[in-house]
């Protein structure tokens, strides 16, 4: 399955933005579960800083890939067969696969408490 590299990379950018959003949602949940006193613990602050760093790095990677993608000719194609077979999350595999432009693999509107069986 060959596809234009810029299209593939833009779907990766979308997935990275989704990951950043999911990571970012962890911080307020931790504060809600632990209450204000969680901020008094030095290790908790390190965890919160780590979450913030993970979000910044993920968004930075997305912006980097987005920017360099603009200079890649549409004629450059890649065979995605092996790479897609290594993606274990079915929804992410669909989002990264051919024919879906900027699809999201993570249903961002899921209600709290929802989970998938696997």
CA distances from 34 to 5, 24, 39, 41, 88 (A): 44, 17, 9, 11, 32
Q: List, for residues 5-54, the tens digit of each pLDDT value.
A: 999 999 999 999 999 999 999 988 888 887 777 878 888 888 889 999 99
Region of 51 please: left (phi>0), alpha (psi -120 to 50) or beta: alpha
- Rg of the chain on CA atoms, in Å: 17
Q: List, for residues 60-69, the tens digit of each pLDDT value.
A: 999 999 999 9
Query: Which residues lie closer than 8 Å to 76 by C-beta, 6 or more apart?
Result: 4, 5, 6
Q: Which two tokens stand for residue 110?
A: 């899921």
CB 5 within 8 A of CB 78: yes
| Torsion angle defined by CA atoms of residues 107, 108, 111 and 113, in that order, rounded to the nearest 10 degrees | 80
Tell me which of 16-25, 28-37, 77-86, 104-113 is least confident: 104-113
């Amino acid at each position: 399955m060959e596809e234009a590299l810029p299209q593939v990379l833009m779907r990766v950018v979308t997935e990275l933005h989704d990951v950043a959003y999911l990571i970012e949602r962890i911080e307020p949940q931790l504060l809600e579960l632990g209450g204000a006193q969680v901020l008094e613990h030095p290790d908790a602050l390190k965890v919160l800083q780590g979450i913030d760093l993970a979000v910044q790095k993920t968004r930075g990677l997305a912006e980097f890939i987005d920017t360099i993608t603009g200079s890649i000719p549409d004629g450059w194609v890649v065979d995605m067969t092996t790479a897609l077979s290594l993606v274990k999350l079915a929804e992410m595999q669909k989002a990264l696969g051919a024919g879906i432009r900027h699809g999201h693999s993570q249903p961002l509107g899921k209600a709290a408490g929802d989970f998938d069986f696997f």
